[in-house]
Amino acid sequence: MSQYLSSARYIDSSHSLVVGFTRQSLKGEGEREKAVSLYYAVRDKIRYNPFLDFSRPEAFRASAVLEAGEGFCVGKASLLAACARAAGIEARVGFADVKNHLTTPRLAETMGSDLFVYHGYTDLRIDGRWVKATPAFNLALCTRFRVKPLEFDGRADSIFHPFDQDERRHMEYLRDRGVFADVPVDEIQRAFREAYPKFYGLGQDAAKESFG
């Protein structure tokens, strides 16, 4: 079996929770229709939450994200990949460094940067070609912050829009980090510690209070 169809440590597509969620969410007959239905299920049924303890492996594991009902971009990308594999669709995870031009002053002050390293997305093989899908921001969150929700049709790459609903500069992709058969957690955690020493110096509880 292809490594992109196999259950893995973090993309644990054989986990009972992932299998059950996939069966419940799956719609359509072909690969494209199935992939689209899973994208919207992960995007909108799992709340986006960037204030997690990234030192814990559970933040990156598909089944744990599903059980918690929330996750950040990497965890949600891992979950979409797991669901796709459970549905028989080849999937992997990809990463890029992005600059968020709409970062709030408080967020920039706390993180010490408006650069987000290892932003995660899912790469799905649909009808013989790889297509990127980013299920991070749920619709309710987008509406609240006037960010354009990312739609996905299974044909074109779905990555962050360069502008928000008010045509302000939003996300800018700066560096491609590649694609992986499973989430490279050790590599990501190391990059986070290097990129955000101020955030990690605060400790998770203090950081959360600063964001509040």
Instruction: Delimit the domains of the chain by residue range.
Output: 16-204
Res 208: pLDDT: 43
Res 73: pLDDT: 93
* Segment-wise mean pLDDT, segments of 10 residues, the chain, 212 residues: 93 98 96 98 94 90 97 96 98 92 56 80 97 92 82 92 71 90 96 82 45 33
Q: Could you tell me which of 89, 50, 90 has the C-alpha nearest to residue 196? A: 50
Total-model pTM = 0.88
Res 201: pLDDT: 60
Res 212: pLDDT: 34
Cα of 149 vs its chain's centroid, Å: 14
72-100 residues labelled b (16+ CB within 10 A) or e (exposed): bbbbbbbbbbbbbbbbebbbbbbbbbbbb
3-state secondary structure of 146: coil
For residue 207 the two structure tokens come to: 């950081």
Indicate the CATH number of 16-204 among 1.10.10, 2.60.40, 3.10.620, 1.10.1060: 3.10.620
Res 36: pLDDT: 98
Res 210: pLDDT: 34
Pairwise CA distance, residues 97 & 133, whole Å: 16
Pairwise CA distance, residues 20 & 77, whole Å: 18
Res 144: pLDDT: 82
